[in-house]
Amino acid sequence: MGGNSFGVAFRITTFGESHGGSVGVIVDGCPPGLELSEEDIQPELDRRRPGQSAITTPRKETDTISIQSGVFNGRTTGTPIMLSAHNKDMRPEDYHDLLGVLRPSHADYTYNTKYGLRDWRGSGRASARETLARVAAGAIAKKYLREQYGIEMLAYVEQVGEISTSVQHADITLEQIEASIVRCPDPEQAQAMIQLIEEVRDAGDSIGGVVAGVIRGVPAGLGEPVFDKLNADLAKAMVSINAVKGFEVGSGFSGVRMRGSQHNDPFYRSEDGEIRTSTNNAGGITGGISTGETIFFRVAFKPVSTIQHEQETVNVDGEAITLSAAGRHDPCVVPRAVPIVEAMSALVVMDHIMRDRAQCAAFGE
């Protein structure tokens, strides 16, 4: 109940609000012995934090993370890890005029309907500031998966509005992604995306985009039929991110234009004796279980709901009003969503790795 936890064997529970005292997460199920410090986590939070560039929200937060439990002498103990970061640049007064307003496409109406009240300070629990906790937990999963299994998670901005890149995910590197403030590895298209975001921001509007995700090095056999398919858990993870409205894995929606003879991924035995596929339309997952090929997917983010245009809406009493929004917001969320997509990818794969290990242990393997 409550919907604040994610995962089974590697489980996280997040807490905190946009303008509350702090935001954080409890991570349960991390194996003991992993070398871990704040320095392992902070770089991921720095990629997500507000105020990092001219095309993100001007809110200034250092998002300095603190490990409160679960680590002793620099190593995880196997007990729950608590991570938290204090909110510093809080301005709840920016939202006081919105106390009784139902903002278009925000969670105001739905939260008010569900709970009978809501935290109107920057959307409270519904704020994307909650994703700080996911990125912190994801940093632990990323480190473990990288060091123990050689698994790598990458995400990048593939599209902003109508501007998109056609770079191939197989060739993408972290350095290419981080070379641009929009986190698109295509320098020419990245500049066009930045210009578009700046134009939208100056017009007081917002725009959406697509983040592509790539997971390399996942072993074959991860995934739990029937309802906990690997792709199903990835879909839930991604759609749980604020502003996400679409998810596809592998060929996705473009696969409907193909014949089965075109879409099927033929098997072959490689020189090192492994069973591989010569194509990867499945996106590294077949029957809900990883094939050993690279997993790739796309996540669609809608335009940010808060804009500087006047909008017609109603208040909690149903009275018509004209809204002119205030506050500090991203004109486009996708540059800061990149580390969030990576983190959620890591949490899903880590959970399935732990579940697979538990199953093997039960059978004495």
Full DSSP string of 323-343: EE--S---S--HHHHHHHHHH
| CA atoms of 70 and 204, how far apart (whole Å) | 45
Residue 94 has pLDDT above 80, yes or no: no
How much of the chain exceeds pLDDT 90, in percent?
Answer: 71
Whether 353 contacts 12, CB under 8 Å: no
pLDDT at 325: 61
When pLDDT is averaged across residues 198-218 and rounded to a whole number, the result is: 96
Helix (H, G, I), strand (E, B) or coil at 185: coil
Average pLDDT over residues 320-338: 84
Look at residue 316 and give its three-state secondary structure: coil
Q: How many folded domains does the chain comprise? A: 1
* 343-364 average pLDDT score: 88
- Predicted pLDDT of residue 321: 87
pLDDT tens digits for 128-159? 889 999 999 999 999 999 999 999 999 999 99
Can you read off the two tokens belonging to residue 170?
A: 């197989």
Q: What is the CATH number of the domain that holds 227?
A: 3.60.150.10
Q: Which domain holds residue 264?
A: 5-362
Instruction: State in Å, rounded, how far the first CA of the chain is from the last one.
Output: 34
The pTM of this model reads 0.94
- CA 91 – CA 88 distance, rounded (Å): 9
Write the CA distances from 261 to 4, 257, 266, 285, 286, integer angstroms. Answer: 43, 12, 10, 18, 16
Q: Which residues of 309-334 are buried (b: 16+ CB within 10 A; e: fewer)?
A: eeeebeeeeeeeeebebebbbbbbbb
pLDDT tens readout for residues 271-300: 999 999 999 999 999 999 999 999 999 999
Q: Which two three-digit tokens encode residue 72?
A: 């002793």
Torsion of CA 22, 27, 33, 34, to 10 degrees: -70
> Confidence band (pLDDT; 50, 70, 90) for 361?
low
Q: pLDDT tens digits, residue range 70-93?
A: 999 999 999 999 999 998 765 655
Reported in sequence order, the residue ranges of the chain that DSSP labels E, i.e. its strands, are: 5-6, 11-16, 22-28, 66-69, 71-72, 75-76, 81-86, 101-102, 152-160, 163-164, 209-216, 244-249, 267-269, 275-277, 285-286, 289-290, 295-301, 310-315, 320-324
Rounded CA separation 177/200 (Å): 22
The pLDDT assigned to 105 comes to: 85
pLDDT of residue 362: 60
pLDDT of residue 87: 85
Burial class (CB in 10 A: 0-12, 13-18, 19+), 104: middle
pLDDT of 90 reads 57
Residues 6+ apart with CB under 8 A from 102: 108, 109, 112, 313, 314, 315, 316
Confidence band for 51, pLDDT divided at 50, 70 and 90: confident
